[in-house]
Structure 1
């Protein structure tokens, strides 16, 4: 049994598709799980409750964590450490492997231009400190040999049919497709990597089913030639067949909006990711598994064909 905890999100769905190559015994766990493959087992659970989490995990060989708790420091501080602590304990008891899908919030902000798995851990945000804490918990247990675990890290991600979890979708694809201005944070002149969701799903499945991958941190495959904010907007607009209209939201404006909008308030501490190059290096994974990431042109083409073809027909 291979179990996905947090199965309803963009990465969980792509992972479920990819796991079909390795097993027909897939369990999907969330508050309201929905089948991705016809044979999937559905297990509704509140994973913040240890007793429900334990039942959800029972009988599993591999556990994949693709959970997305509410995007706020308060929620992360209250939920992530307790959840990970419980999950580690349960995995050790059930003797199952743990694959943890992670972000890069814990990395030192002065080392974002060419991020590798060896990047210095020095989070500059409160949410980053939570991520650093839980990643350390997992790897500490892994290094003792008491838990077989790995961490799979992604850059910001993008892909087709994503709702509310991709910055690029919400700030560029959606507004441009409706004839509105795209939005970019802080500055449009810096490079910014995005991981394609289908690549992330396939790669996470590969890692989970590769015994030698455990005990390590892996960057998931991501195209190596990231675009600047301006280039992202122009390429997406060109593919949508619309004008590349956009506005840049400087830091002071995001701070003001944060007084009225909770999501913008939570975004303020993360703005450093947009005032410098944000370049994600996945060469370790690519070389080990002979995997070529989806190019940005191909990714944009697929998203437009999948999600926006009808809405943009005839636009100029």
Structure 2
């Protein structure tokens, strides 16, 4: 039995497809309102804020994947993520279940330095502090040998279906609607984006590789990074149009943050868009040389239906 905790998002859905196609049909999907991806999926309703419910959801599982996401809300993250991590760790320890944690890069330094698996955390902002805290919680358990776990880390998403990210909403979704894409701060810094199906496939592969445990892994990305200007140029080639874009300055975000809660929450992440974002997944590429990463051109073409 392999169990996906937080089973409603795009990452969890693509992970379920990978597990079903390549590993097992014995899959349990856990969330407050889970839905089947395949007819054979087992559904369990549970709130990961409830320790007993989490333990019951994990019971009988060989591997559990913690993929839960929350709305971009600092207070909500502070209230929920540490409790859900603690409950999941306790449940996996109780049932001798391996844990695969899907993590992000918010706690990394907001600089142009290359990001690798042992990059020290320098959290800046409330959301980054929460992500550092829960990653550290799990790492301490891994170091102490109390749990067999692995951390799978991903940069910003882009992708099909229900993928949620600033890039999807501000760039590709707007292009699909015939609107001018909006670029935060600078259109000419290199971006590292991960194609959501690649993130899920990479996590499923790592989770079912015994010697991958006890480590942190950067999930696979296209090493040929593009700027937003270059991505939009590719999008123009895909749809056969010359696409013009608008670069949104920091002052506009600051003004919007005064009256708009979502803009205020996103503002914490903006410094990352002023500099190149170089997320290095060469460790994964060396260990899994047969994994085929989706190129930016392939991903953009799929999103735009070219």
SS at match of 1:218: strand
Deviations, residues 266-311 of structure 1 (Å, cap 9, x unaligned): 1111111100001211010111011231111111112222xxx6xx
Partner of 2:29: 28
The 1-side partners of 2:107 and 2:90 are apart by 23
**Residues 191 and 229 of structure 1 are in contact (CA less than 8 Å); yes or no, is this contact kept in structure 2?**
yes
Q: 2:286 is matched with which residue?
A: 287
Match of 2:140 in 1: 140
User: What SS is found at the alignment partner of 1:172?
Assistant: helix
SS in 2 for 1:151: strand
- 8 A Cα contact 2:154 2:194, kept in partner: yes
- Whether the 8 Å contact between 2:115 and 2:279 is mirrored in structure 1 is yes
Write the deviation string for residues 157-209 of structure 1: whole angstroms up to 9, x where unpaired.
1111125x122221111111222110110111101011011111111011111
Q: Secondary structure at the match of 2:269?
A: helix
**Partner Cα distance (1:179, 1:238) in 2:** 15
Say which SS state the counterpart of residue 92 (structure 1) adopts.
Answer: helix
Cα separation, 1, equivalents of 2:180 and 2:224: 25
What CA distance in whole angstroms lies between the structure 2 residues aligned with 1:276 and 1:168?
16
SS of aligned partner of 1:109 = coil
Pairing of 1:175-186 with structure 2 (within 5 A)? 175-186=174-185
In the TM superposition, residue 12 of structure 1 has moved relative to its aligned partner by 0.4
How far apart, CA to CA, are the structure 2 residues paired with 1:282 and 1:43? 34
CA contact (8 A) 1:100 1:152 kept: yes
State the alpha-carbon separation in 2 of the partners of residues 27 and 85 from structure 1.
20
In structure 2, what is the equivalent of residue 17 of structure 1? 17
Question: Stretches of 4+ moved more than 6 A in 1?
Answer: none
Q: Would the aligned equivalents of 1:11 and 1:197 in 2 still touch at CA under 8 Å?
A: yes
Q: Does 1:212 align with 2:208?
A: no
- The answer to whether the 8 Å contact 1:4/1:28 transfers is yes
The correspondence of residues 120-135 of structure 1 with structure 2, limited to 5 A, is 120-135=120-135
Q: Which TM-score applies when normalising by structure 1? A: 0.93
Alignment RMSD:
1.3
Cα contact 2:72–2:266 (8 A) shared by 1: no
Aligned to 1:84: 85
Question: Would the aligned equivalents of 1:162 and 1:169 in 2 still touch at CA under 8 Å?
Answer: no
State the distance in 2 between where 1:109 and 1:174 align: 26
Gaps of 5+ in 1: 310-316
* Counterpart for residue 255 of structure 1: 254
What secondary structure sits across from 2:29 in the alignment?
strand
- 2: CA distance between counterparts of 1:107 and 1:10? 24
| 2:214 partner SS | coil
Cα distance in 2 for residues equivalent to 1:296 and 1:229: 11
Once residues 237 and 171 of structure 2 are traced to their aligned partners in structure 1, the CA distance between those partners, rounded to angstroms, is: 12
Segment drifting more, 217-226 vs 295-304: 295-304
Query: How big is the shift at 1:265?
Result: 0.3
Q: Check conservation: 1:176, 1:242, Cα contact below 8 A.
A: no
Task: Confirm or deny that 1:275 pairs with 2:274.
Answer: yes
State the Cα distance separating 1:146 from its structure 2 match.
0.8
Q: Tell which deviates more after alignment, 38-47 or 218-227.
A: 38-47
Q: Which residue of 1 aligns with 2:95?
A: 94
Deviations, residues 111-139 of structure 1 (Å, cap 9, x unaligned): x4421112121112221111111101101
Question: For each residue in 1:36-64, what CA deviation from the matched residue of structure 2 results, as whole angstroms up to 9, or x when unmatched?
Answer: 12211111222222222122111111110
Residue deviations 1:66-112 (CA, integer Å, cap 9, x gap): 111121110111111111111111111111011000000111123x4
Spell out, residue by residue over 1:226-263, the C-alpha distance to the aligned partner (whole angstroms, 9 max, x if none). 11121122212331333312111111111111122211
Q: Name the counterpart of 1:236.
A: 235
